[in-house]
Amino acid sequence: MEDEVVDEVYQQDLVSSVEKLYERCQYILNDCSTRQETRPLDGMYRLVQPLTSECLFLEKLLKNPSTIKRKYIQSTNLSYLEAVHDAVTMVGPINDIMRSVAVPHKNDQWMALSTMLRQHSLKVDLVAEEERVWIKVIARNTKAFRHEMAGLEWDNGSDDDDDFGYDDHFSDDDDDDDSVPACTFDELPIFKKARTYLECAQSHHVHYKVPVVVFAFMRIHYDQDPFVQRIMDRLEDMGICVYLQNHQQEGTSIRTRYLPAIQEAFGSTNGSLTTPMLNLDVSTVLALVSQLSHYGCSVDEIEGEALQTQASQEACSPILPILDQILCGGKQLYMVQSAFDRLKSIMDVVAGPTEIKRYLHLFPFLQTTTTTTATTATAPTPPKNDNDDVDLWTTLTPPPKITILPDEPSARFQRLLEPPLATPSTRGMTSKLNNGRKIRSRFSSFHAGIFGTADTLHMTTITAIQWMPAALLEAGLLGSAIVTHPPRSLAEQKMHIKKNGSGVD
């Protein structure tokens, strides 16, 4: 009789535990839904899907309380999912959740992104601050983490993504001796994991600067355990930014921990991500000088379907504020020789008179050439009026002059145009894929010259070719530095606006 009572109490405790887990799971799901409605976030579904599965599992258990066993509670992944959710509330602007990032092959062998991900990938729980921060969430508490370090079993719930694969040759004494043999401490698998993340981040640079890697120990307190703290100190020495709970500083968040590291690596968190020197694509200079960018018009005041589409886009989202934000802050502007040659050929045929004036402002050496070769018009140049810039550039801060650079594409961009090596699985197929190249057919040697030269010189490229970043990534080229914007074509000769004081006929 007494045993039956004990069993009943034990079962009631299990049911109560499942009910609490279910309530927690529902709360997190509801909060995720609210966040997604307020500010949609890429990758939120990767958190919501496993949470939904956990809820369904727990709900099924509650419908049949007699079937609940302790091992079912121990197998839940809610501890890790809750830790990721908690971390979401403690960081800055989030770009992605639970992203799989490709680890490049060590022998520099070319691989498409899909192949790279299949062979070796890491999961970054949170990507934040415009890709500048990678956050790995660890849900273990201090005792569980210490047991795992010692290679012992721990049955108080775990997150399956936080399995560092520890070997069982570490011992954990119950006394206060926290020492580990010097030859084995550096070999702890968590250090191997840290090195993997740091090395991978090097390949995924953000405008030629390496993302900050954060290990967020959501349930470990600062200085709670000397041995665990020693591990944390070593991780920081390796270059990992470590977040621990700190009772002495209640306001401490993950963001307050990594902000100094961001400022050291990238400068200001509010500043531009781009490099000080910018490489401009043909499409960007066309957008800069286009009359449509400076004097928008209605759809029925311009010829051509493509230009009419751009006129409609310009009315909804003007391009000049976007370009001003990209090019401001004392940036130095450059253009590759092959790109300039293509631009000049377009301007000579398509540009209107005001668009040519902007073009000559950006490339003043052309004015010198024109003046030298002219055989007429010897009248003195009139003094410049302050209103000239306003009429010419309207709301755009007059951009600095553009310097021409020789083409010098990097080896990795040149390799994109080569056919991939045939393998047993692809033999006979490579010629049919992207014309036998590693990247889609639209990518040409002209593109390789523009974007590859910027890669050689570690410069950000500004372009209106919006498919380019995805194409390079799919082709396995990691860490490219490209900023895209909407296109604006030369339009002055196709615009028919009645004179209204804007200077446009």
More confident residue, 188 or 178: 188
More confident residue, 439 or 436: 439
Per-residue model confidence (pLDDT) at position 426 = 52
Is the pLDDT at 36 greater than 80? The verdict is yes
Average pLDDT in the 152-156 region? 44
* Residue 343 to residue 299: CA distance in whole angstroms: 26
Q: Which residues contact 35 (CB under 8 A, 6 or more apart)?
A: 41, 44, 88
CB atoms closer than 10 angstroms to residue 228: 22
Q: What is the pLDDT of residues 265-293, one digit of tens each?
A: 998 766 678 999 999 999 999 999 999 99
Contact 333, 400 (CB under 8 A): yes
Average pLDDT in the 378-382 region? 43
Average pLDDT in the 212-231 region? 93
**Burial state string for 274-299 with b = 16 or more CB within 10 A and e = fewer than 16:** bbebbbbbbbbbbbbbbbbbbbbbee
Q: Would the pTM of this model clear 0.75, i.e. be above it? A: yes
Q: What is the pLDDT of residues 47-79, one digit of tens each?
A: 999 999 999 999 998 888 878 788 877 778 899
**Burial state string for 11-25 with b = 16 or more CB within 10 A and e = fewer than 16:** eeebeeebeebbebb
Per-residue model confidence (pLDDT) at position 296 = 85
Q: What is the pLDDT of residues 190-219, one digit of tens each?
A: 999 999 999 999 999 999 999 999 999 999
Low-confidence winner among 119-123, 187-191, 294-298, 378-382 (lowest mean pLDDT): 378-382
Per-residue model confidence (pLDDT) at position 388 = 61
Per-residue model confidence (pLDDT) at position 424 = 57
Closest CA to 141 of 188, 83, 70, 98: 83
Contact 157, 120 (CB under 8 A): no
Task: Indicate the pLDDT class of residue 425, thresholds 50, 70 and 90.
Answer: low
To which H or E segment does residue 97 belong? strand 94-102
Is the pLDDT at 180 greater than 60? The verdict is no
Q: Which residue has the tokens 């109560």?
A: 16
Most confident of 171-180, 373-382, 470-479: 470-479
Per-residue model confidence (pLDDT) at position 157 = 39
Per-residue model confidence (pLDDT) at position 22 = 92
Is the pLDDT at 171 greater than 60? The verdict is no
Per DSSP bridges, beta strands 121-128 and 133-141 are antiparallel
Q: How does DSSP classify residue 475?
A: T
Low-confidence winner among 45-54, 110-119, 250-259, 443-452 (lowest mean pLDDT): 250-259
| Strand ranges inside 442-502, DSSP E | 460-463, 482-484
Q: How does DSSP classify residue 134?
A: E
Hey, CA dihedral for 173, 179, 182, 184, is it positive or negative? positive
Query: Domain limits of the chain?
Result: 1-76, 79-266, 277-371+388-494
Mean pLDDT over each residue of the chain, to the nearest integer: 84
* Residue 281 to residue 461: CA distance in whole angstroms: 7
Q: Determine the 3-state secondary structure of 283 from DSSP.
A: helix
* Residue 292 to residue 91: CA distance in whole angstroms: 40
Q: Which residue has the tokens 């390796």?
A: 238
Per-residue model confidence (pLDDT) at position 423 = 61
Is the pLDDT at 167 greater than 60? The verdict is no
Average pLDDT in the 135-147 region? 91
Interaxial angle between packed helices 78-88 and 44-63, expressed in degrees from 0 to 180 and rounded to the nearest 10: 140
To which H or E segment does residue 297 belong? none
Closest CA to 293 of 501, 495, 499, 505: 495
Per-residue model confidence (pLDDT) at position 379 = 40
How distant is the alpha carbon of residue 375 from its chain centre? 54
Task: Indicate the pLDDT class of residue 183, thresholds 50, 70 and 90.
Answer: very low
Contact 46, 27 (CB under 8 A): no
Q: Please state, for a pLDDT cut of 90, what percent of the chain lies above it.
A: 61
Per-residue model confidence (pLDDT) at position 54 = 93
Per-residue model confidence (pLDDT) at position 153 = 43
Q: Which residues contact 260 (CB under 8 A, 6 or more apart)?
A: none
* Residue 75 to residue 457: CA distance in whole angstroms: 51
Low-confidence winner among 70-84, 117-131, 166-180, 320-334 (lowest mean pLDDT): 166-180
241 token code pair: 């930014």
Average pLDDT in the 410-414 region? 95
Is the pLDDT at 369 greater than 70? The verdict is no
412 token code pair: 């990795």
To which H or E segment does residue 82 belong? helix 78-88
Is the pLDDT at 86 greater than 90? The verdict is yes
Is the pLDDT at 443 greater than 80? The verdict is yes
Is the pLDDT at 430 greater than 70? The verdict is no
Contact 44, 94 (CB under 8 A): no
Q: What torsion do the CA atoms of 144, 150, 153, 159 make, to the nearest 10 degrees?
A: 50
